[in-house]
């Protein structure tokens, strides 16, 4: 079992009066953090691609990934295209597989000065369990985030979460797709998720300068309104577990709106790439 660092080790420079945000209240060890500002999976790779202007010790945490049991080559080029209100990116969940990720990157995670959450994207229970088991052996890893497939069905969640639980005794968040968010939220909460992340990017399309159409995840300000709609709908369900918002958050005002709307924390994605100075500003507000 991995050694879990104490909250004070990740935030030793903060004063004791700083409120603690608990992002896994139903879990026996919990996941307490001192800031609601997280970096989303994919925004800084596996922790190696952090902009030098971002003080990670001021963050609530960083989600690294995506991670699967076996390596995934990813999508062919072009992968990126601009669109109205943002851009479309299609990586095909490219990653080296859990063994290579741990070998090449896990040693850096404890140096980042904040909680690290690993995102699993396997949708087969046995594969997800194997990935979770390997990650649970990494000293200092604070939790797992399971990103559900775009077309996940509520009935698939219980065996998937049960398999991960049996393999890794770490707090487990579930990142929901934007479609069918309320049904999936209820199923994930009933299956034992410690928190829900709302939501994975919507599908979009953009055209490159050469005229090639790229279809993939939609990032940027255009993603904010759909994410807020999903968050509002899940908040009304009163599921009794923390909600974490992710999608199109680019300003301090938006972050405050999201927290006021019922989220316990926010994950930043595209703003990390296009304007990292904003990340530092947001982190400094809490």
Type and span of the H or E element at 267: strand 265-268
Question: Whole-model pTM?
Answer: 0.92
Give the per-residue pLDDT at 18: 58
pLDDT at 12: 42
Please tell me the predicted confidence (pLDDT) of residue 286: 86
Report pLDDT for 9: 44
What domains are defined for the chain? Answer: 7-283 (3.20.20.70)
Q: What is the pLDDT of residue 268?
A: 98
pLDDT along the chain (286 residues), means of 10: 44 54 96 97 94 94 98 94 92 95 95 96 98 96 97 96 97 95 98 97 94 95 96 98 97 96 97 94 91
> Residue 130: what pLDDT?
98
What pLDDT, on a 0 to 100 scale, did the predictor assign at position 11? 43
Predicted local distance difference test score (pLDDT) of residue 19 = 77
Q: pLDDT at position 34, please?
A: 94
| Residue 88, beta-bridge partner list | 81, 218
| Neighbouring residues of 67: CB distance < 8 A, sequence distance ≥ 6 | 95, 97, 98, 101, 118, 119, 120, 121, 131, 135
């Amino acid at each position: 079992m991995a050694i879990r660092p104490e909250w004070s080790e990740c935030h030793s420079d903060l004063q004791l009066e700083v409120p603690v945000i608990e992002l896994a209240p139903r879990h026996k060890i919990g996941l307490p953090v001192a800031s609601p500002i997280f970096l989303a999976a994919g925004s800084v790779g596996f922790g190696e691609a952090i902009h030098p202007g971002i003080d990670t010790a001021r963050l609530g945490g960083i989600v690294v990934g995506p991670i699967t049991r076996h390596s995934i080559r990813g999508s062919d080029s072009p992968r990126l295209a601009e669109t109205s209100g943002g851009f479309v990116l299609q990586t095909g969940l490219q990653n080296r597989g859990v063994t290579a990720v741990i070998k090449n990157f896990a040693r850096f995670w404890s140096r980042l000065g904040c909680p690290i959450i690993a995102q699993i994207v396997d949708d087969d229970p046995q594969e997800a369990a194997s990935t979770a088991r390997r990650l649970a052996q990494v000293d200092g890893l604070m939790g797992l985030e399971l990103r559900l497939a775009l077309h996940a069905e509520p009935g698939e969640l219980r065996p998937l979460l049960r398999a991960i639980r049996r393999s890794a005794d770490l707090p487990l968040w579930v990142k929901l797709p934007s479609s069918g968010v309320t049904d999936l939220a209820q199923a994930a909460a009933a299956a034992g998720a410690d928190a829900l992340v709302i939501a994975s990017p919507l599908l979009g399309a953009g055209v490159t300068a050469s005229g090639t159409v790229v279809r993939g995840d939609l990032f940027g300000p255009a993603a904010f309104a759909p994410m807020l709609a999903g968050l509002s709908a899940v908040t009304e369900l009163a599921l009794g577990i923390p909600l974490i918002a992710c999608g199109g958050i680019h300003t301090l005002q938006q972050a405050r709106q999201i927290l006021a709307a019922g989220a316990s924390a926010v994950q930043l994605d595209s703003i990390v790439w296009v304007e990292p100075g904003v990340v530092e500003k947001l982190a400094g507000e809490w």
